[in-house]
Amino acid sequence: MRRVFALLISLGLILFFVNSLSILPEYGNVELSKVSNAYINKSVNGNNEKVKFGESKDLEDGAANVVTSIVVDYRSFDTLGEVTVLFTSALGVGLILHGFKRKTYGRLPNFILRVSVGILLPLILLFGVYVFVHGHLTPGGGFPGGTIIAAGILLLYLSNEEFDLSKTSKFVESYAGSLYIVVGLVGLAIGGVFLINFLPTGVVGDLFSAGIVPIVYILIGFKVGAELSGVIADLYREG
Amino acid sequence: MVYYISFILIGIGIYGILTQKNLFKFLVSLTIIDTAINIFIISLGYIEGKDVPIYSKYTPVANFVDPLPQALVLTAIVIGVGTLALGASLLVRVYEKYETLEVEEIAVKEARK
Amino acid sequence: MTIATIFVGILMIISAIYAIEAKKMLDSFISLSLLSLLSVFLFVIMKAPDVAITEASVGAGLTTAVLILALRRIGGDEE
């Protein structure tokens, strides 16, 4: 009986959504809004001239990846808030799952796991660092880079009995978060706006371009990686 | 087409929340709804025949899909795993108190007190 | 591309139903991870590689890890 009612309710919801399709644009035929056009041409204050790869210089924001320039530059205050939400949830996990000892099995992990972690872990960490250092040129950035590093830390936890990172992760996380705010305050002192891009932005497509975007993304990468490995460390303790 | 997939996934998630009795299944259903809504938001920015919003050697001039929904979803996914971890840790505490995760058994134990 | 989208969509719906209806928790989590991986395919089709790489590392890696660690902490799989 309960299942029938649940099925009816969810079918009604699906029908409601399908009905509301008429006010949505057709799939694949969306028009770019004015805001998106301004973000793509990287001139929110200017006159919307076209950007060309490898030639355009000294734009508002020099990141070749438009998504990165929205996340870290134009809507950076938003990202600061989201990083704070992530910090709060990691703090909540630490508060709820209080415990002191790291969980042990009393026997060594699998031989294949132990050996292959030694080979794979440097590659995984290197890939994570690559993803967030090149966040303004290629797909990726601080958020996926941080999670890739956290996945590497999870592998370390699985393969090593004595490994414990919780103190280091708290240290790295708090310093990266504070440095993000310090970058914003420096922008406030130089340009008059919190988190303004105060460094020269360079040519679109160079590794050393885009002003503060790579710096902020590296900080976000460290912060997200440290927070998620802290969550894993908390789940590994026994209370 | 992608619209319909995300709608059906949202419906499945709500069906799961309404019928299942295990608290872990609630988390699973919420994660399904999370994924479905991310797919829906991304599909609102897709334009047929246009390219990935990254300036590169192959796309030197702008001919891009809408980058704004992608920027919103990018952070939402990472927030999603943070809140999921918070929910999972709450479940661990619930299990330590009631020694079960079935909703009805928890209600019985709560009434007996 | 449309046929591939429909195929992936049907697989996603099947794995979502299995994730909800599975008797064992571990099966449910693995099926959820499969759902995330298939959604990565949809993101790539819709020209969103940033979101795809994030979803691949979060959905297939960390979500499953967090859920399985929590399950192990409450003492394994109960029917």
The DSSP secondary structure of B7-52, one letter per residue, reads HHHHHHHHHHHHH--BHHHHHHHHHHHHHHHHHHHHHTT-BTT-B-
Picking from A67, A86, A138, the nearest residue to B78 by CB comes out as A86
Pairing of strands A237-238, A101-102: antiparallel
The count of other CB atoms within 10 Å of the CB of residue C57 is 27
Cβ contact (<8 Å) for A10 and B18?
Answer: yes
Reported as type and span, the H/E element at residue A79 is helix A76-96
Within-domain flag for C78: no
- Which pLDDT belongs to residue C7? 92
Which residues span the domain enclosing C20? Answer: 2-73
Give the per-residue pLDDT at B22.
87
The pair of structure tokens assigned to A30 is 């969306």
Q: Using CA atoms, how far apart are residues A197 and A59, in angstroms rounded to an integer?
A: 11
Residue whose structure tokens are 């859920």: C67
* Of the candidates C47, C34, B78, C57, the residue with the CA atom closest to the CA atom of residue A127: C57
Q: Which one of A93-102, A199-208, B51-60, C29-38 scores highest in mean pLDDT? A: C29-38
Q: Is residue C31 part of a domain?
A: yes
Which of C70, C75, C78 is closest, CB to CB, to B89?
Answer: C70
How is residue A19 written in tokens? Answer: 């009905």
Indicate yes or no: CB of B45 within 8 angstroms of CB of A30. Answer: yes
Residue C57 in contact with residue A132, Cβ under 8 Å? no
Lowest mean pLDDT, pick from A119-123, B36-40, B45-49, C12-16: B45-49
Between chains, do A144 and C58 touch, taking CB under 8 Å as contact?
Answer: yes
Token look-up 């490898």 returns A54
Asked which of A101-115, A149-163, C33-47, C56-70 is least confident by mean pLDDT, the reply is A101-115
pLDDT at C10: 92
**Pair A66, A39: CB distance under 8 Å:** yes
Q: What average pLDDT does this structure show over A26-45? A: 81
Distance from CA of C16 to the nearest CA of A (A): 14
pLDDT of res. B37: 92
Count contacts between A and B (CB, < 8 Å): 158
Q: What is the pLDDT of residue C77?
A: 66
Q: Please judge whether C67 and B84 are an interchain contact, meaning their C-beta atoms are less than 8 angstroms apart.
A: yes
- CA distances (Å), origin A187, targets A157, A182, A211, B39: 39, 9, 11, 35
Write the burial class of residue A16 (CB in 10 Å: 0-12 exposed, 13-18 middle, 19+ buried).
exposed
DSSP string covering A172-217, please?
HHHHHHHHHHHHHHHHHHHHSSTT---S---BTT-SS-STTHHHHH
CB contact under 8 A, A28 and B47: yes
Q: What's the mean pLDDT when you consider all of chain A?
A: 84
Q: Which chains touch C (3 or more CB pairs under 8 A)?
A: A, B
Residues of C in contact with B38 (CB under 8 A): 39, 51, 55
Which tokens is B86 given? 């918070």
pLDDT at C79: 47
Contacts of B7 (CB under 8 A, 6+ apart): A14, A17, A18, B36, B40
Yes or no, beta carbons of A231 and C66 under 8 Å apart: yes
Higher-scoring residue by pLDDT: B80, B61: B80
pLDDT at A212: 83
Angle in degrees, 0-180, between the axes of helices C49-57 and C25-45, rounded to the nearest 10: 170
Rounded to a whole number of angstroms, the distance from the CA of A67 to the nearest CA of chain C is 8
CA C53 to chain centre: 14
Judge: B77–C59 Cβ closer than 8 Å, yes or no.
yes
Which residues, in sequence order, are CB contacts of B111 under 8 Å at separation 6+?
none
Please tell me the distance from the alpha carbon of residue C71 to that of residue B89, in angstroms, as a whole number: 10
Give tens-digit pLDDT for C3-53: 888 999 999 999 999 999 888 888 999 999 999 999 999 899 888 888 898
Residue range B94-103: mean pLDDT, rounded: 85
**R_g of chain B, CA atoms, integer Å:** 20
Those residues whose C-beta lies under 8 Å from the C-beta of residue A95, and which sit 6 or more positions away, are none
Residue of B nearest to C28 (CA): B28
Q: Both tokens of residue B67?
A: 């980058």
pLDDT in tens, A204-234: 777 777 778 888 888 888 988 888 888 888 8
B2-112, what's its fold?
Helix Hairpins (1.10.287)
Q: Is the separation of the CB atoms in A72 and A63 below 8 Å?
A: yes
A167-176: average pLDDT: 85
- Residue A50 has what DSSP assignment? P
Any A CB within 8 A of C20 CB: no
Minimal Cα distance from A227: which residue of B?
A: B82
Rounded to 10 degrees, the C-alpha dihedral A163/A164/A168/A169 comes to 110
Residues near C62 by Cβ (< 8 Å), separated by ≥ 6?
A147, A150, A151, A154, A228, B81
A45-91 residue pLDDT tens = 777 777 777 777 777 777 788 888 888 888 888 888 888 898 899 88
The two tokens of residue A147 are 């999670």
Whether pLDDT at C78 is above 70: no
* Chain A residues with CB-CB distance to C65 below 8 A: 151, 154, 232
User: What's the whole-number mean pLDDT along residues A116-139?
Assistant: 88
The pLDDT score that the predictor gives to residue C34 is: 92
Query: Encoding tokens for residue B82?
Result: 């943070």
Contacts of A139 in chain C (CB under 8 A): 49-50, 52-53
Q: Which of B55, B74, B86, B93 to mutate to test the interface with A (most CBs of A within 10 A)?
A: B55
Each domain of chain B, given as residue ranges in start order, spans 2-112
CA distance A86 to chain C (A): 14
What is the average pLDDT across B16-23? 88
Confidence band of B32 (pLDDT split at 50, 70, 90): very high
For A116, the token pair is 């292959």
**C79 within a domain of the structure (yes/no):** no
Select from B15, B22, B42 the Cβ nearest to the Cβ of C43. B42
ipTM of the complex: 0.89
Separation of CA B106 from chain center? 26
| Chain A residues inside the 8 Å CB shell of C61 | 147-148, 151, 154
pLDDT digits (tens, 9 = 90+) for A142-159: 888 888 988 888 888 888
Distance CA C44, CA A29 (A): 18
- pLDDT value at B76 more than 50: yes
- CB contact residues (below 8 A), chain C span 25-54, against chain A: 49-50, 52-54
Q: C31 is written with which tokens?
A: 């099926």
C49/B contact by beta carbon, under 8 A: yes
Whether B5 has its CB under 8 Å from any CB of chain A: the answer is no
